[in-house]
């Protein structure tokens, strides 16, 4: 029952978003709104695409999110392995620092970061944004992956060594498959973080053709909280879909990956 309530709680905003995206303006102004639009329309989608470069923004977001997730994973995986396996004071301090770094608010770093990127000629460049996303998601990715590595029993690696496997072979054939679900989950986290990120993208990218989806969504908002609600909902729905699809596709693989490689042949 509690699970059902939780699911309803989670689903409500999404279903409302879907409903709003298909409603004509007059239904949006109704005091008694309905779940199912009385006169469903695609006009909001047409207007959203007409008014803003949504496809280009989605492509920009996709590029930033995919590349930053990939780079974060490539960097975090070996670092996490070292931190998890080396039980030293340094490793504990590093892990602690990773946790503390998550508490820094964005506004604290944005201006120094802006100046650093400007010096590097990386303001208004996608590379700069991706670099920031990698740095921003790396600590949490590292933290997550460290947990996954610790969950892999070292005895399995020792058994592989006894069987004559070298270090690399052990990592690739034994640890790797067991870590795969964790790597996928962490990559997914990094992807979603970058996909949804707004503030860095707003501040760092100036050229219209480089703007990402969350920034473009604000273009449907006016002063004093007025919004072009229908097109905004349509655009927001489109912005939500990649994350949902990715979860749907990867969820099964995460579960499958957990079982694969757990048994030593």
Residue 54 to residue 42: CA distance in whole angstroms: 15
Least distance in angstroms from the C-beta of 195 to another protein: 15
Least distance in angstroms from the C-beta of 259 to another protein: 26
Report whether 188 contacts 246 (CB < 8 A).
yes
Least distance in angstroms from the C-beta of 224 to another protein: 6
Nearer CB in complex with another protein: 162/226: 226
H or E stretch covering 135: helix 126-151
47 is a contact residue toward another protein (CB under 8 A): yes
All residues at 6 or more sequence positions from 176 whose CB lies less than 8 Å from its CB, including other chains: 261
- Of 17, 18, 28, 94, the one binding another protein (CB under 8 A) is 28
52 is a contact residue toward another protein (CB under 8 A): yes
74 is a contact residue toward another protein (CB under 8 A): yes
Vertex 221: Cα angle to 215 and 222 (nearest 5): 130
Nearer CB in complex with another protein: 25/159: 25
Nearer CB in complex with another protein: 92/169: 169
Residue 234 to residue 154: CA distance in whole angstroms: 49
Closest listed residue to residue 145, CA positions, set 179, 188, 99, 169: 179
Closest listed residue to residue 112, CA positions, set 101, 100, 120: 120
- Of 110, 246, 250, 254, the one binding another protein (CB under 8 A) is 110
Question: Residue numbers of the site for another protein (CB under 8 A)?
Answer: 25-26, 28-33, 47, 50-52, 63-64, 66-67, 70-71, 74, 110-111, 114-115, 118, 120-128, 130, 168, 199, 202-203, 206-211, 215-216, 218-229
């Amino acid at each position: 029952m509690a699970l059902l309530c939780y699911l309803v709680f989670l689903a409500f905003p999404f279903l409302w978003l879907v409903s709003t995206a298909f409603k004509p303006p007059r239904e949006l102004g109704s005091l008694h709104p309905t779940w199912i639009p009385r006169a469903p329309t695609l006009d909001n989608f047409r207007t959203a695409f007409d008014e803003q470069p949504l496809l280009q923004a989605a492509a920009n977001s996709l590029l930033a999110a995919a590349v930053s997730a990939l780079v974060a994973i490539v960097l975090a995986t070996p670092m996490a392995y070292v931190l998890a396996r080396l039980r030293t004071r340094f490793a504990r301090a590093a892990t602690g620092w990773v946790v503390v770094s998550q508490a820094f608010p964005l506004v604290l770093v944005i201006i120094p970061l802006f100046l650093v990127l400007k010096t590097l000629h990386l303001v208004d460049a996608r590379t700069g944004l991706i670099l920031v996303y990698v740095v921003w998601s790396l600590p949490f990715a590292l933290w997550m992956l460290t947990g996954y590595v610790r969950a892999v029993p070292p005895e399995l690696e020792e058994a592989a060594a006894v069987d004559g496997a070298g270090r690399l072979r052990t990592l690739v054939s034994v640890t790797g498959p067991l870590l795969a679900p964790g790597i996928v989950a962490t990559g997914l986290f990094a992807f979603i973080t970058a996909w949804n990120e707004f503030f860095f993208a707003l501040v760092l990218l100036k050229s219209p053709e480089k703007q990402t989806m969350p920034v473009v969504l604000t273009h449907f908002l006016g002063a004093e909280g007025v919004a072009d609600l229908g097109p905004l909902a349509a655009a927001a729905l489109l912005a939500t879909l990649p994350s949902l699809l990715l979860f749907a596709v990867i969820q099964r693989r995460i579960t499958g990956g957990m079982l694969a490689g757990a048994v030593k042949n």
